Each structure stands twice: as C-alpha cells, then as structure tokens.
Amino acid sequence: MLHQPIRKLALIAACAVAGVSPLLAGEPVAPRDAFAQTASPAAIAEYQRRLAEYQQARAEFDQQAGAYWKAIADKRRIRNAKRRDRQPIGLDDYVLEQPPVYTGPKRPVNPEPEPEGEPRERKYIPVVADLLKAAQEHFQWSPQRPANDIDFKRAYARFAASSGLTREQAVRVYSFETGGNGRHDSQSGFKGNRAISTAIGYNQLLTTNTVELLAEQGPLFIRLLGERVAQTSGPARGAMEHKLTVLKKMVAIARSVPDDWSAHEKIGNTEQGWAMHAMVLDIDVGPMLQTHKLLTSVLFARAKGYTRPLSAAELEMMNLTGDGTGFDMVTMPQEMRDQVPTANFFQRGGYERNPVAVRHNTVAKLLAVTDARMDSLSSLPGAKELAAAF
C-alpha cells in the first residue's frame, strides 16, 4: 500500500471527490455546466439516428447470444443427467460453436449533457487488518502467525503431504494462484488502496471458502487440533486450548446454516465471517484450510470413480470453476479437448468477464495456458521454497 503525507493525501482525495485536478486546488472552480453548450438540432437528430441503429443491432445480437447461452445451459443439464445415470458423454453433448461476438456499431455519444445517476456504492472488501480486528472483537483471539513465511510453508507441506496432495499439485497450484512468490497472508490484487477480493493465502481462499470448509471439514479440524493440544505443554498449552475453543465456536456458526454456498456467503460477508477468515492466517489451522481447498476436489473426483491422479492444471480447473464443472473438463477425452469451447463451462456473465477463457477458447488451450503459466512461475523463489518444504 502506498503511503503519502496525510495532508497531500487529503488534498488528492478531496480533489477526486470534487472532480478537479490537485494542481487547481484552492482556485475558484466554475460550475460544472457553466461551459456546456446546447447541441444543434442537426447533431441531436444524427445522434438519435445512430442510437436507433445501435439499439437495433444490439437487440439482434442479444437475441442471438441469448439463444446460444440457452443452448449451453440445456447441454449442461443433459450432461449432468447422463453423468448421474453413468451414460457416456460425447461431442454431441456440447455446444461446439464459439459464442457470438458483437460486431455492430458502438453506442454513440450523446451531444447533450445527460443527468448524472446516483454513484454506485462500492462494497467494502476487508483486508488482513480487518480480519485480525474482527477476530479480536468477536472471539477475543488472534491467529498464531509464523515467525517467517518458510515456517508456514513447512507446516502446509507437512499437512498437505500427509493428507494425500502431491508436491507437484501443491507447488504448481500455489504458483498459479499467487504468482510464484505468495506469502501465507498474500491477498488478491489491489486497485489503489482497496482490495479487489477476500482471496488470501497459498490457494487464495475467499471468506465463503473458509466458512464452507469450517462447516464441512470442521469436525476433522477440531479433532486434529485437539490432538496437537494434547501434545502441547507449558505456557503454549493455554493458547492452544483457547484456539481450540475458538475453532469449535466458528465451526458451530458455520454449521448453523444450510450447507450451501449462498448461506455460507451470507456469513462470510459479515464481520463475524471476517473473523472466521482469520483462521487462514493461523499456522495450525491455516494449512488445514489451504490443503482441504484442493483436497476436496481430489476426493470429489475419486468419489466419481476417477482414479487417475489429477494434474495440477486439472486440479486448478476444479479449484477455479467448482468441482462439478471442473470435473466435466477433467474427464473429457484428450481428442475432444481441442474441439470443445470453454464457453460450455461458464455462465454468460462469468465468461464475458474472463479474458483468459475467451482468448484460450477451447478446453485444450485453457489447460495448456494454465500449464505454461505454472511452468514459468514454479521457478520463482516462493515456489522453490514450497517445493523444498516437501
């Protein structure tokens, strides 16, 4: 985060709100519309003509796109039903055309001033400091942080290996998720001084992921932490017992609602959920959460009868898109992957906001670019440290 002198920062912030340059601060500012000129009738008529052309072209495109994405959803339902009935899935069960792309005229600029709408309020995304504060306020507890990040990597490697993750899976997914140098408290990218996501750690868990894992794996985490408490003595024993008490409370909260994403997301968006997310930073429970974020996908595939070890790229597909959707890609025969568009595994809005899936628009290309990125990032110091920890 950038630090600036407070007076300068306040000046810049005030100017940003006022819509003027900091260089002009203190100067008289003309009213917003003082220099606005009324557009000529000819300009207005031309604008209305071009706007009508744009609206017609856009309506035609939206109709075409709507039919395409309906076909995507229909095919997905067919595949899910076939998979439940253990029926073979072939190329006919996918939409093989790429999504339509709008190529019509752009929306014209109105020559007359338009009334400004109400500014949209941004949802605040908590950062690590918010998680720590919430943990203190709601549970009177602070996560046990490592003396340095290599200690956390060693704890993660020990737990991941003992749970069945391979070094290749853990290191390559870590590299992809964190850019090859992530820390245990690395948070998804910032815009200015604002976080863009609650994703934190080696596998970039969201608050909702943490709540969901506490709900689904909480009894296991409690048992494992209880075993560590029993092996601890001296002054550290009291802190471990308190941590176990806090973990039990968090698990009880997570399990107090239906086991579905929306219910867990609702908790994750509260300060209580932020406090629960602080467990990702704890050197005892954090590695459990990080490991099970990936292990649940491995176990999901195994439960579906998929016995071949998942490659790191395949595991990342399940990590990114969800187990069911990712499994659809993972189980696809190699000869089909070049022909099936990535659009088959997205909702329309998610696809259009995902430039990687749009650019690398078949399953084969998406897996290949993921592998290539993992290759390049696995050579960075953080990834090498994690590999050595195994």
65, 46 Cβ separation under 8 angstroms: no
Q: Average pLDDT of 39-49?
A: 90
Structure tokens at 74: 């229909």
Which tens digits make up the pLDDT trace of 299-312? 999 988 888 889 99
pTM > 0.75: yes
Does the pLDDT of residue 7 top 80, yes or no?
A: no
pLDDT band (50, 70, 90) for residue 37 = low
Nearby residues of 29 by Cβ (< 8 Å), 6 or more positions away: 18, 20
For residue 363, give the amino acid letter.
Answer: V
- Residue 13 pLDDT greater than 50, yes or no: no
Q: How many Å apart are CA 206 and CA 193, to the nearest integer?
A: 19
Please give the mean pLDDT across all residues of the chain.
Answer: 88
Average pLDDT, integer, range 227-240: 93
pLDDT band at 17 (very low <50, low <70, confident <90, very high): very low
Query: Nearest-CA neighbor of 258 among 269, 270, 266?
Result: 266
The stretch 56-61 carries a mean pLDDT of 96
Least confident interval from 2-11, 175-184, 189-198, 202-211: 2-11
**8 falls in which pLDDT band (50, 70, 90)?**
very low
For 126, 127, 198, 228, the CA distances from 190, given in Å and listed in that order, are 11, 10, 11, 36
pLDDT computed for residue 323 by the predictor: 86
Per-residue pLDDT tens for 157-187? 999 999 999 999 999 999 999 999 999 999 9
Q: Where in the chain is the domain with CATH 1.10.530.10?
A: 128-389
Domain 128-389, CATH among 2.60.34.10, 1.10.1740.110, 1.10.8.60, 1.10.530.10: 1.10.530.10
